[in-house]
């Protein structure tokens, strides 16, 4: 399973990259705004800076919502760096644009997926990734993990190569559940990824090992 970090914060991206387990980054307009990145030149420079840190897979979201504008914006984003994956919203013009990008060798991530039918359409259009938002479904008392399970079944039934990128992850248990269900990728905040490191028995066990070693060494 690939691990992406869901942030536009360069320090957090570097920290995850240094951990040696990072496969990519997802951003969205809200995450860019959170870092105070506004204006075309700054946004472009920021995507380039992210690409300089990670090995591959940097999702950059279009702001446009009409076909011609999505194509123009997506082409410009893809031209910034071969690591860029053009993130396109699940709307009618977005699906048409994903088909165009697929036919022209541009990788895509279809975002804001909340139903299996939406994921099926995006796969038909040839999306490289679909992003089901499981945390936001959980927030409205709908089972986000059940959506991941349904999409996995549908993609496997037909051998769609589109990868399931589980998004809107809220914590470490979401990550483990996605791994059990066969998601191809998770994208999560740094806090959810580093929470996977933690277990109280690991901490107490290590403290005991070090204390026993010190005692035996006469320290």
Catalytic residue annotation: 87
**Nearer Cβ to ligand E4P (21/214):** 21
Region from 8-16, 47-55, 76-84, 127-135 binding ligand E4P, contact rule CB under 6 A: 127-135
Alpha carbon distances (Å) from 32 to 8, 39, 59: 6, 11, 12
Footprint of ligand E4P on residues 74-113 (CB under 6 A)? 111
Nearest-angstrom CA–CA distance, 4 and 169: 11
Range 13-52, binding ligand E4P (CB under 6 A): 26, 28
- Min CB(34)–ligand E4P separation in Å: 10
Residue 131 in contact with ligand E4P, rule: CB under 6 A: yes
The structure tokens listed for 137 are 């479904």
Residue 162 engages ligand E4P in binding (rule: CB under 6 A): no
Specify the DSSP class assigned to residue 90.
S
Q: Buried b vs exposed e over 43-72: b needs ≥16 C-beta within 10 Å?
A: beebbeebbeebebbbbbbbebeebeebbe
- Residue placing its CB nearer to ligand E4P in the complex, 31 or 219: 31
Binding residue for ligand E4P, selected from 177, 187, 190, 193, defined by CB under 6 A: 187
Please identify, among the stretches 13-21, 46-54, 128-136, 152-160, the one whose residues bind ligand E4P according to the rule CB under 6 A: 128-136
Distance CA 202, CA 75 (A): 48
State in angstroms the smallest separation of the CB of 211 from ligand E4P.
Answer: 41
Query: Binding to ligand E4P by residue 136, rule CB under 6 A?
Result: yes
Q: How far is the CB of 189 from ligand E4P (least distance, A)?
A: 7
Length of the chain: 219
The position carrying tokens 């979201």 is 61
> Among all chains, which residue has been given the structure tokens 């969205």?
28
Candidates 50, 106, 167, 178; binder of ligand E4P (CB under 6 A) is 167
**Contact predicate 155/123, CB 8 Å:** yes
Cross-strand partners of 118: none
Query: Which residues contribute to the site for ligand E4P (CB under 6 A)?
Result: 6, 26, 28, 111, 131, 133, 135-136, 167-168, 187
């Amino acid at each position: 399973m690939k691990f992406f970090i869901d942030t536009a914060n360069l320090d957090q991206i570097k920290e995850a990259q240094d951990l040696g387990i990072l496969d990519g980054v997802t951003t969205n307009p809200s995450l860019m705004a959170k870092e105070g990145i506004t204006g075309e030149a700054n946004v472009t420079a920021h995507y380039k800076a992210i690409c300089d840190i990670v090995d591959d897979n940097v999702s950059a979201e279009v702001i446009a919502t009409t076909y011609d504008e999505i194509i123009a914006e997506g082409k410009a984003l893809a031209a910034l760096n071969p690591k860029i994956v053009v993130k396109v919203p699940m709307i009618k013009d977005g699906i048409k644009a994903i088909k165009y990008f697929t036919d022209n060798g541009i990788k895509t991530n279809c975002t804001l997926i909340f139903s299996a039918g939406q994921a099926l359409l995006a796969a038909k259009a040839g999306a490289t990734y679909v992003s089901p938002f499981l945390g936001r479904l959980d927030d409205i008392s709908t089972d986000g993990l059940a959506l991941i399970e349904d999409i996995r079944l549908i993609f496997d039934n037909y051998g769609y190569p589109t990868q399931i990128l589980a998004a809107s992850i809220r914590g470490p248990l979401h990550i483990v559940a996605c791994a059990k269900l066969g998601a191809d990728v998770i994208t999560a905040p740094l806090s959810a990824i580093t929470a996977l490191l933690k277990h109280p028995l690991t901490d107490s066990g290590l403290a005991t090992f070090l204390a026993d070693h010190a005692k035996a060494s006469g320290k």
